[in-house]
Amino acid sequence: MKILHSKLVITRMSDKYASDSQEEKNPDNIITALYEDGDLVELNCEKAESDRILNNIYIGKVKNIVSNIQAAFIEIADGLMCYYSFEDNKSPIFVNHKNSQKLAIGDELLVQVSKENVKTKAPVVTSNLSFAGKYMVLTTGNCRIGISGKIPEEQKKRLKSWVKPYASEDYGFIVRTNAKDAQKEQIEKEIEALIRRYNDVKSAGLHRTCFSLIYQAPPAYLTNLRDTYARNLESIITDDGELYGAMKAYLELEQKEDAGKLMFYEDSLLPLQKLYSLETRLKEALREQVWLKSGAYLIIQPTEAFVVIDVNTGKFTGKKKLQDTFLKINLEAAKEIAKQLRLRNLSGIIVVDFIDMEREEDRQSLMESLDECLKKDPVKATLVGMSRLNLVEITRKKVRKPLKEQMVVQCPVCGGRGYLY
């Protein structure tokens, strides 16, 4: 397998366009761009002064129970209601000393925000607390030891033997892809740190008041440092003194082996965002139309229910037979679609309308190529199959908001939506 060399670029960009009708500036955005072998593969945007709640842990109060959908609504802050599924949460962590495990209105319990609010949907909270490190994840939702499917079989047995002594009835562990290059001492040290974090949170929950923020998750630009596959990460570059200081402190405490990769960019004549053309790349990643090198193009349209992608021949002028031309375009499109899903952080159900092909062997070749491209995505993406209408269905796990939703702001006057750069 080819080893990809990666680089993280992290900088601030001011909001030039607050919305379609607002001229006032909003707080700066922190942009994180991940490059692999010189290609931009991930973009993330977060407001520097945002009220982040994803992965935070609170003491919440049960405000309503809806039996017909087997769910409750839990308030984690004044007026902030969150959805809580009974099916997904079998072991609530009560802080008001209950004898029964059955939820009742007024109960107080530890919950973690597992999904942010999406449009009209409330945030989702869970009692299955998770704490992620560079190599490991501690979770109370499953007391078994899970290992990343991207780790070779011969290494799984060794890693499991290192983790097994820490098994508990209260929590389990997930071994992350990064662990395949880690030493035993690094794994053990991180597990012990995660266990301490879990015990601290559980203890704090017993002594704090309702709606207290018990654990605040690190900002996205720090979790990107943690989650990028470490062996291939060659440099971390920023031109912002405050971000540099925060990352330096984080790396020296959590990832000492990567601290030497942090670089401060100081060329005032050519700012970092200009050097990497970040404003242009952001605009391109928000456009519906994506041109392919052949002259064909994609139309990418997120809807309320799913993401629709249409493949069009465009300006393509192949000299081969028509069916060969269609196959060539579809194979090129498959590679670009996998890239765009990751770059735009699109998730949920994705439906792709490739150019119709008559030959069964061509359809099979397309599906195999798309499947291989999706396997390279660090976020789980699954090729479901091709329907009778020759529409290809894909699912991709949601880990954070799509790039467009990270950057869109709603005008309070007209309700219009615009982009922040």
Instruction: Summarize the confidence of residues 313-341 as an average pLDDT.
Output: 86
pLDDT in tens, 82-139: 999 999 998 898 987 766 778 899 999 999 999 888 777 889 999 999 999 999 999 9
What are the boundaries of each domain within the chain? 6-49+219-279, 53-218, 287-403
Instruction: State the pLDDT at residue 102.
Output: 84
Topology at the third CATH level for domain 6-49+219-279: Nucleotidyltransferase; domain 5 (3.30.420)
Reduced DSSP (H G I as helix, E B as strand, rest coil) percent helix, strand, coil of the chain, to 5: 30, 30, 40
Q: What is the largest CA-CA distance in the chain?
A: 75
For position 236, what pLDDT does the model report? 94
In this structure, of 11-15, 69-73, 193-197, 297-301, the range with the lowest mean pLDDT score is 11-15
What is the predicted pLDDT for the residue at 4?
A: 65
- pLDDT of 210 > 80? The answer is yes
Q: Is 320 helix (H, G, I), strand (E, B) or coil?
A: coil
Question: Band of the pLDDT at 409, cuts 50, 70, 90?
Answer: low
**DSSP letters along 355-399, please?**
PP-S-HHHHHHHHHHHHHHHHT-SS-EEEEEE-TTS-EEEEE---
Top pLDDT among 238 and 180 is at 238
For the cut 50, the answer to whether the pLDDT of residue 18 exceeds it is: no
CATH class of 53-218: mainly beta
Contact 125, 72 (CB under 8 A): no
Please work out, in degrees rounded to the nearest 5, the angle formed at the alpha carbon of residue 77 by the alpha carbons of 76 and 83.
35
Tell me what pLDDT residue 373 has.
96
> For residues 305 and 385, what is the distance between their CA atoms, to the nearest angstrom?
18
Mean pLDDT of all residues in 385-414 = 82
pLDDT > 70: percent of the chain: 89
- Quickly name the fold that domain 287-403 has: Aminopeptidase (3.40.630)
At 145-183, the pLDDT tens digits run 999 888 888 899 999 999 999 989 999 999 998 898 889
